[in-house]
Amino acid sequence: MAATLGSDIGGTFTDFALVDPEEGTVAIHKRLTTSEDPSLAVADGLRILSVDHADSLARLTTHIHGTTLVTNAVIERKGARTGLITTEGFRDILAIGREKRYDGWDLKITFPEPLVERPARVEVKERVHASGRILTPLDRESVRESVHELLRQGVESIAICLLHAYRNPMHERAVEAVVKALAPDIPVSLSCEVLPNIGEFERTSTTVVNAYTKPAANRYLTRLEERLAENRIKGELLLMLSSGGINSAETARAFPVQIIESGPAAGALGAAHYARIAGLDKVLSFDMGGTTAKMCIVQDGRVSKTTDFEVAHVHRFKKGSGIPVKVPVLDLMEIGAGGGSIARITDVGTVQVGPESAGADPGPACYGAGGERPTVSDADLLLGYLDGDHFLGGDMGLDALAAEQAVRTFIADPLGLDVAEAAYGIHGIVNENMASAAKVYVTEHGEDPAQYTLVAFGGAGPVHAYDMARRLGVLRLLIPPRAGVASALGMVVAPISYDTVRTHRLDIASGDFALLDTVFAEMASECAERMPKSVDRASLDFERSADMRYVGQGYAVSVAMPDGSLANETSVSMRERFDAVYRKLYGRTYDDLGLEFVDLRMTASRPAETNLASIGTSGAADAEPDGKREAYCPLAGEFVAHDVYDRAALGPGFSVSGPVIVQEDESTTIVGSDGQLTIDDHGSLLIERIG
C-alpha cells in the first residue's frame, strides 16, 4: 500500500506528516523554517524521517507540499520585474483601482504600490465589446512595439490583460503569440486563463500577481524537486491550493496565484476531516501557529470558500488596504496572533500583542536564539502551560530565564507588575483579540458562536483554545490527534481538485437555463485537463455554483447549483435558491427586483484515499498522569497544580476533570478547572466546558 507525505512550510516551523497505511504508522516531524531557502528545511526534515522510516519513504507515491512562497514574494516585493500589456487607455487600472477608501477617517491614507511600475505598463490598440464582439481589430504593430519596449526595460515576466478578454480571448492569445515569437524565454500570464471573469481591476491585479510570482515559483519548485531527488524521494509532487484542494506542480508553475494561501487551507481541511468523523456539523476551525491565527467556519464537514481575498496589506488585516487576488480561497479570517507575536507597551501605556512577530529567526526569547523582546510563547512558558524540557519532544529546549528577563524588562517593570501578572496579561490579551475577531467573523456569516465546537490545532492553538473558548462563549472543544502538525495532516486528506470560473450574465426572467449547461460543460472539460496526469478523469466529482445578484447591485452571493441539467429549472426555483442564501446573510429579500447570474463556478475533485481515523487510538482508557505542574488558572486567579498526561498514553474512553495539561511532541493542550476531558473513538480530545 502506498505512503503519502505532507510537508507544510510556515512562518516559524516546517511540519511533516508521513502516513503509511501498510505499516499503520503516522510519522511526524517539526523543525524551524529556513527562511532564506525554505526547501532546505524540507530536505533536512526528510533526512531525519529517513532514519527510522526509510521503508515508508521508499513506498511513497505522493508528496503534498504547502508553501508561503507566493504570499511572501508579494509582501516582500521579491518577485520578478513584470510588464503589463493592456488595452489602449487602461494602463493605469492598477493605480486607479476601485477608488474606494478603506478607512474614511485616515487623512493620510495609503494604498499598496502596484507591482508593475507605470513605465512597464504598456498599451496596444484593440477593443472588444462586453458581449465579446470585436470593435477594433488588434494592431499587431502596436503589439510588437510594446513588447520591444518591455524587453528594453528588462522585464522578466509579462502579464497580458485586455478589456473584456473573459468574453473573447482572441486578442490576448494573439498578443501572447507575438511575445513568444520575440521573447520565447519570457513567461507569460493571460487573464483569460488566470481569471476569466468580469471585474477589470481585480482581473488585472490577479493576473499581475500571477506573472510577478511565476519565475520565483518555477525556481523554487525546481530547487525543491532537486532536493527531493538528492534524498531519493520518489512519488508525485503535488501542491496545496488556496481553494482547499491539491494539484500538480505543473499547475502551480503555470498558476502560482492558486497557491497563495496553501498552508492555512490545509489546516482547515484537517479540522473539517476530524469534524466529519466526530459527527460535528458546526465547527469553528482555529489554527494558531508561530506567526498568525486563522479561523474558519466548517459546516457539515465542508469549509466555505470565497474570492474576496487580498495580500500585502498596507495596514495588516484591514480589508481594502491590500492587493486583490480574486481566486478561490477558503474563507479564512486571519489575525496577527501566534506564539511569536511580540508584546509591547504602547505610547498610551497599554499592552499590545502582535501583529509583529519574532518569526523563526531569532524567534521568541525562550528559544535562546537571540530574541530579546517578550512574546506569547515566553508568557506561556512562564505561566506553566509549556514544559521547557519537553518542547518538540525534548529536541528543542526552552530558556525560562530568558523568557522571564524579556517579560520583566519590557512589560512587568515598566508597568509595576510582577512577572506572572505581566505574563498572564500577554496571554489574556492575545486570547481576547482572537475571541473578538472570531465573534465578528462568525456573526458576519449569520451564525452564533455558542452553537459551534472549536477545533483547535497548530503549535499554539491547543494552549490557547480553552481560554479563548471561554471568552467566545463556546462550550465544546475538539483537539485532533497530532494537532501541532494538523496542516501537514490536512494535506494528506485533501482532495485533488481544480476550480474554474466563467462570467456569463443571464437574467433569470429569460428562463433559458440550458445555456448554463453548455458553459458548465466547457468548464468541466477545462477542469479535467488541469488535473494531474495520474488522476482518472472518470473518478472526478463536479460541484457547480453561481454568483447571483439583484439587477443593479454591485455585489453577488454564491448559490449552489443542483446536479443534472439546469434546463429543467424555472425562474421560480432559481429565485428560491437565491432567496435562501440572501435571507440568511441579510435577513430579507426583495421580490420586486430582477435577478441575474453573473459568474459560474465549478470545482472538479477526487477525494483523498488516505484515512486518518485511527492515528490517535493506541492509548489506554485508564492512563495515569505522568506528574503535576503548577500552571496559572484564570478562574482561581493563581497558580494551581495541573495533572500532566502524555497524550500518546490516552486512548478512547479515557475521561478526567480539569485542571489538566495534555502534552505531545508538537503541541500542548490546556484544560481549565471547569472542564471535562474525554478521548473519542478517533483519538481526539473532546473537552466540555461547564458554562
Instruction: Reduce the secondary structure of 248-305 to three states and give it as a string.
Output: EHHHHHHCHHHHCCHHHHHHHHHHHHHHHHCCCCEEEEEEECCCCEEEEEEECCEECE
* pLDDT tens-place string over residues 161-212: 999 999 999 999 999 999 999 999 999 999 999 999 899 999 999 999 999 9
Which pLDDT score, from 0 to 100, does residue 458 have?
A: 87
Instruction: Average the pLDDT over 476-503 and give the result.
Output: 89
* pLDDT tens-place string over residues 258-314: 998 877 788 888 888 888 888 898 999 999 988 788 899 998 888 888 888 888 888
Q: How does the average pLDDT of the chain come out, rounded?
A: 90
Q: Pick left, alpha or beta for residue 317 (phi over 0 → left; psi -120 to 50 → alpha; otherwise beta).
A: left
Biggest CA–CA distance in the chain, Å, is: 80
User: Does the pLDDT at position 616 exceed 60?
Assistant: no
User: Does the pLDDT at position 316 exceed 80?
Assistant: no
Class of CATH domain 3-73+218-252: alpha beta
Please say whether the beta carbons of 285 and 271 come within 8 A.
yes
pLDDT band at 136 (very low <50, low <70, confident <90, very high): very high
What is the rounded end-to-end Cα distance, in angstroms, of the chain? 46
Which pLDDT score, from 0 to 100, does residue 1 have?
A: 61
Of the candidates 378, 367, 445, the residue with the CA atom closest to the CA atom of residue 407: 378
Q: How far, in Å, CA of 240 to CA of 269, rounded?
A: 11
Which pLDDT score, from 0 to 100, does residue 210 have?
A: 97
Q: Where are the domains of the chain?
A: 3-73+218-252, 79-214, 341-428, 496-606
The model's pTM is 0.85
User: Does the pLDDT at position 413 exceed 70?
Assistant: yes
Task: Give the start-end residues of each E strand in 331-475.
Answer: 333-335, 341-345, 351-357, 453-457
Torsion of CA 240, 243, 245, 246, to 10 degrees: -30
DSSP H helical segments within 512-570, as ranges? 514-529
The cell for 223 is 530547487
Q: What are phi and psi of 381, to 5 degrees?
A: -65, -45
Q: Report the run of H or E that residue 61 belongs to, with start and end.
A: strand 60-66
Q: What are phi and psi of 689, to 5 degrees?
A: -90, 140
Q: How far, in Å, CA of 224 to CA of 238, rounded?
A: 12
Q: How far, in Å, CA of 678 to CA of 575, rounded?
A: 46
Which pLDDT score, from 0 to 100, does residue 363 have?
A: 87
User: Does the pLDDT at position 47 exceed 70?
Assistant: yes
Which pLDDT score, from 0 to 100, does residue 36 have?
A: 79
* pLDDT tens-place string over residues 140-152: 999 999 999 999 9
Instruction: Average the pLDDT over 103-127 and give the result.
Output: 92
Instruction: Average the pLDDT over 236-251 and give the result.
Output: 91
